[in-house]
């Protein structure tokens, strides 16, 4: 898919960044890490409405959402344990495409069953926006929607296939984005179907 010229500067789309073999390796690693830090169902601040995605984190900090709000914290909310270390293959990805002098602190792992989606939002719970958010898609294809820095402006959509990498950096760092839907059954990478999305983030200023 070609990107139109009006994608914001700092938005990078790297289709097929990971080969099918690399994707399998990454899924094996994640399967192991998710045993240590199980997927949990976050709920919306105040209302307590459950998200349709399940999530966990890797790294020194992990993003969580519960009735008291959104935040980064050092421990898994259910096990109380520190999050597992971000695997080397993802640190290498950050070093290659992240355009940032420091290491990522968080890798949010979102699991989308075929019916899951994510509303338009900005990633703005970090204390610095100088580093990009680097995203990896694994499993079923997703319809990703990208807007501008203001809610409600024009948007465009992009199919994210297994192995694709997207970078939200520079002017794109605070662009609204979301997942309209998952194309269930479009990939056989995950044995139970669905999609994993990994987002590498820097939270603290350098």
Instruction: Compute the least distance from the CB of residue 118 to ligand SIN, in Å.
Output: 6
Residue 141 interacts with ligand SIN (CB under 6 A): yes or no? no
Kindly tell me which residue out of 30, 58, 90, 118 binds ligand SIN, with binding defined by CB under 6 A: 118
Residue 200 interacts with ligand SIN (CB under 6 A): yes or no? no
Phi-psi region of 16 (alpha: psi -120 to 50; beta: other; left: phi over 0): left
Instruction: Provide the β-strand partners of residue 65.
Output: 70
Kindly tell me which residue out of 23, 57, 100, 110 binds ligand SIN, with binding defined by CB under 6 A: 110
CA atoms within 13 A on the CB side of 17: 21
Looking at beta carbons only, is 76 or 177 nearer to ligand SIN? 177
Phi-psi region of 103 (alpha: psi -120 to 50; beta: other; left: phi over 0): beta
Looking at beta carbons only, is 33 or 179 nearer to Fe ion? 179
Binder of residue 197, out of Fe ion, ligand SIN, none (CB less than 5 to 8 A by kind): ligand SIN
Q: b vs e for 14-35, b when ≥16 Cβ sit within 10 Å of the residue's Cβ? A: beebbeeeebeebbebbeebbe
Chain positions contacting ligand SIN, by CB under 6 A = 110, 118, 135, 142, 144, 160, 177, 179, 197, 199
């Amino acid at each position: 898919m070609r990107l139109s010229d009006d994608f914001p500067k700092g938005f990078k789309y790297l289709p097929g960044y990971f080969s099918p073999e690399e994707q399998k390796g990454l899924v094996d690693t994640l399967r192991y890490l998710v045993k240590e830090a199980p997927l949990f169902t976050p709920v919306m601040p105040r209302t307590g409405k459950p998200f349709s995605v399940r999530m966990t984190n890797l790294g020194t900090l992990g993003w969580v959402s519960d009735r008291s709000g959104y935040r980064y914290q050092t421990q898994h909310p259910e096990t109380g344990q520190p999050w597992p270390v971000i695997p080397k293959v993802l640190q290498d990805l950050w070093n290659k495409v992240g355009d940032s002098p420091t290491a990522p602190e968080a890798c949010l792992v979102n699991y989308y069953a075929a019916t899951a989606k994510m509303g338009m939002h900005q990633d703005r719970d970090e204390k610095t926006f100088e580093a990009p958010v680097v995203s990896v898609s694994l499993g079923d294809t997703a319809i990703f929607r990208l807007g501008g820095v203001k809610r409600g402006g024009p948007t465009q959509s992009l199919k994210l296939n297994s192995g694709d990498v997207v970078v939200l950096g520079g002017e794109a760092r605070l662009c609204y984005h979301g997942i309209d839907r998952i194309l269930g059954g479009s990939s056989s990478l995950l044995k139970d179907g669905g999609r994993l999305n990994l987002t590498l983030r820097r939270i603290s200023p350098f």
